[in-house]
Amino acid sequence: MNKNIILYGAILIFGIAAPFIFPAFKVQLSILCILIILAITWNVQGGEMGYNTFGNILFYGLGMYLCASVQVGMFFPLGEWTEGGGEKTFVHTPAQFFQGFAVGLAVAAVVPAIIAGLIGYSILGLRGHYFAICTLGLGVAAGEISGGIEIIGAGQGFTTPPFPNVDRLEARGEFFYFCSFIVLVFTFLAVKAIYSTRFKLVLNAIRDNEDKAEAMGIQTMKYKIIGWMISAFFCGLAGGIMGGLVGYIDSTDVAFDGREMGVFMVLMAILGGKGTLWGPVIGATLFHIFKEGFWTFFLGWQYVALGVLIVVIVIYFPEGIMGWLREKYPERFGEVVDEADRKAQVTLK
Amino acid sequence: MDFLIFQVPMLTLQAVLDGLLLGVLFALIAYGMALQWGVMNIINIAQGDLVILGGYIAYFMYLYGIHPAWGVIISPIIMYFVGVIIYKLVINKVVDRDLFISILATFGISILFMQLMNFAFGADVVLANSGYGTTMLFDNSVTLPNSKIFSAFISIVFAIGLVIYMKKSKLGRAIRATAQNARAAKILGVDTEKVYAATFGINAALCGVAGALISITFTIHPYMGLPYTIRSFMIVIVAGLGNLPGVAMSGMGLGVFEEFADYILGTEFRIGSVFLLLVLILVYRRFKLSRKREYLK
């Protein structure tokens, strides 16, 4: 227990100090935080509940659009803003910017969660690959449809309000970094708290055998919907911050970017190890480092590398890093190992 | 309702005819998907990308001065070997695993193909001009490009040919036996590994035919694959595995639906409406089955 506190403290201190130690990488660090949030939220669903989804990108993109729309719409007419494109006829004062961003984030978190609750009953009745394909369809449909809606910029995109002119140049990066870092800490603690309750056991029961869980008297549908709502809540938050960070929202390339973010979140969680608390964090960190290296040095080949990476991870490494560690050092994970039994199994195979 | 399509009755006929001809193509792709799904229990997200790759083969023949209609013969031959290579490299490692693994692995292949095609052929929307001209019907109010009629005809020929092949030939029987029970087939001397490779190859070849036809009748673009995958998936779940008339019917139904969505909602919502229809169909079937306390398997 003591060791854990030291570990968490060290990570927290590192997190707070990071933008000052690596001032050049503030945006990268913020994106890392967002990626970790997405991996953690995907893991609530895909890892713990066994409902592999490609559709959490829906909530991410929704959060992005909602946050930016609220931030603009609170003070200025939204239609004129998007029509103006990059040209800014309206300028947010600092107070308006932060106020709008805070309200926008709240909306970006709550509305996707409500939507997840509303559609959850219909969609979570599907199982296995039908659920996966259905959510894939939802994500792509959302991208295509939002690309046709005029008020949020349609095909030409939506520029989020520029960061207000405060005296320090560094302020923008630091603001978004701390936003995403605080949300990350909040997400991690919330998920950790959830995982220590009966709720996690229910989710695992659903993953292992849903019919039996139902037969044991668990209202599986209720828990599935709550699980999805939790995912959607944090996905929306992450999307809202990412929208502000990127500064420009496009329907299929930034917001509902199933080809990038939608796959990334699955891949990160699997790389780190599905169904573990730390797996997604480790997976996302490694993946981000790999991705940035590749995106920088082999620009153009990144999707080729991504495709190969997906295939290799899925085929040869489906248990992920945490799963591999667990196989290697089961004692560390609180499993009692009977040495003789373990060897007997090996020889049998 | 002030939509144009309701004011001009001929447009309705146009949409229905266009949709039917388009739907035959969808049905051909969906047939390949049903085949591999039934035999190998694999959902291939890269299906659409195989289609597009087949289309590029025909397009290149067109660029080098060969009439693209020959692509209907060349493209499936090349695509068969592409399919077998993909099978040997990736698919044979996911055949017996969880379906989600196969979805994710083929998603990886799909992304890989998209980008490789983007490198090799460029990101332009292209089409191979067959120069077949157009047929005018009903006093020039309904136009039907001959290439569409040609493509529908070729699709039907290939589909019927494949059905006969599956019924009569030795390999066809082996494929059907493996689909029924892979283990029993293995015991009785069927080389299931070979059957799987051939099945995936045949699927890729069907995609090649469809792609060549699409490059003649419509346009192709490296990133256009996913909608074809989703369409064929949708057709298969509506029709059910191994229900060939059903595949043909629902393929044409989807084609007509798309044309009407195009007219009524506008072209920008066309792909979106296809994906939404998938969600709606799945949800509808889920509610229908849940009355009997069952779920989609």
Taking the C-alpha atoms of residue A234 and residue A116, their distance in angstroms, rounded to an integer, is: 12
DSSP A175-235: HHHHHHHHHHHHHHHHHHHHHTSHHHHHHHHHHH-HHHHHHTT--HHHHHHHHHHHHHHHH
Query: Residue B259's domain is classified under what CATH number?
Result: 1.10.3470
ipTM above 0.90, yes or no: no
Phi, psi of A90 (to 5 degrees): -115, 145
A69: closest CA of chain B, how far (Å): 22
pLDDT at B183: 87
Q: Which of A273-277, A300-304, B50-54, B153-157 has the lowest mean pLDDT?
A: A300-304
Q: Is B295 a member of any domain?
A: no
- The average confidence (pLDDT) of chain B is 84
Q: Is B49 a member of any domain?
A: yes
Q: Is B103 a member of any domain?
A: yes
Q: Which residues are A158's β-sheet partners?
A: A249
Q: Which residues of A touch B107 (CB under 8 A)?
A: 263, 310
Q: Which residues are B145's β-sheet partners?
A: B134
Q: Which residues of A touch B112 (CB under 8 A)?
A: 303-304, 306-308, 311
DSSP for residue B191: -
Q: Is B90 a member of any domain?
A: yes
| Other Cβ atoms within 10 Å of A90 Cβ, number | 13
pLDDT at A261: 81
**Interchain contact, B295 vs A259, CB within 8 Å:** no
| From A147, A304, A318, residue closest to B115, measured CB to CB | A304
Q: Is B187 helix (H, G, I), strand (E, B) or coil?
A: helix
Chain B: residue whose CA lies nearest to A252: B272
Residue pointed to by tokens 């939509």 = B3
Find which of A51, A54, A121, A144 to mutate to test the B interface (most B CBs within 10 Å of its CB).
A144
| Nearest of B224, B225, B223, B244 to residue B235 by alpha carbon | B244
Taking the C-alpha atoms of residue B54 and residue A210, their distance in angstroms, rounded to an integer, is: 41
pTM of the model: 0.86
List alpha helices for A76-161, DSSP H: 78-83, 94-123, 128-146
Q: Is the pLDDT of residue B1 over 80?
A: no
Helix axes B9-40, B192-217, angle to 10 degrees: 160
**Interchain contact, A310 vs B272, CB within 8 Å:** no
CB B275 within 8 A of CB A137: yes
List the domain range (segments joined by +) for residue B120: 4-290
| Other Cβ atoms within 10 Å of B247 Cβ, number | 26
The C-alpha angle A239, A241, A247, rounded to 5 degrees, equals 100
CB A139 within 8 A of CB A260: no
pLDDT at A349: 46
Look at chain B and report how many structural domains it folds into.
1
- pLDDT 10s digits, B279-294: 888 888 888 888 887 7
Question: Which residues of B lie inside 8 Å of A (Cβ-Cβ)?
Answer: 43, 90, 93-94, 97, 99-101, 103-105, 107-116, 118-119, 226, 230, 233, 237, 266, 268-269, 271-273, 275-276, 278-279, 282-283, 286-287, 290, 295-297
pLDDT at A111: 92
**Interchain contact, A266 vs B104, CB within 8 Å:** yes
Q: Is B144 a member of any domain?
A: yes
| From B43, B109, B112, residue closest to A129, measured CB to CB | B43
Q: Which residues of A touch B119 (CB under 8 A)?
A: 300, 304
Burial class (CB in 10 A: 0-12, 13-18, 19+), A102: middle
Which helix or strand (DSSP H or E) is residue B144 part of? strand B142-145
* pLDDT beneath 70: ranges in chain A: 1, 79, 82-89, 153-155, 166-169, 334-339, 341-349
pLDDT at A341: 66
pLDDT at B4: 61
- pLDDT 10s digits, B2-34: 566 666 677 778 788 888 888 888 888 998 888
Find which of A149, A156, A315, A319 to mutate to test the B interface (most B CBs within 10 Å of its CB).
A315
Taking the C-alpha atoms of residue A241 and residue A108, their distance in angstroms, rounded to an integer, is: 9
Separation in Å, CA B288 to CA A131, A135, B242, B257, B292: 16, 19, 21, 22, 8
Q: Largest Cα–Cα distance in chain A?
A: 75
Burial class (CB in 10 A: 0-12, 13-18, 19+), B258: buried
Which has more pLDDT, A76 or B215? B215
Q: Is B189 a member of any domain?
A: yes
| Nearest of A236, A181, A166 to residue A27 by alpha carbon | A181
Separation in Å, CA B26 to CA A155, B236, B242: 27, 10, 16
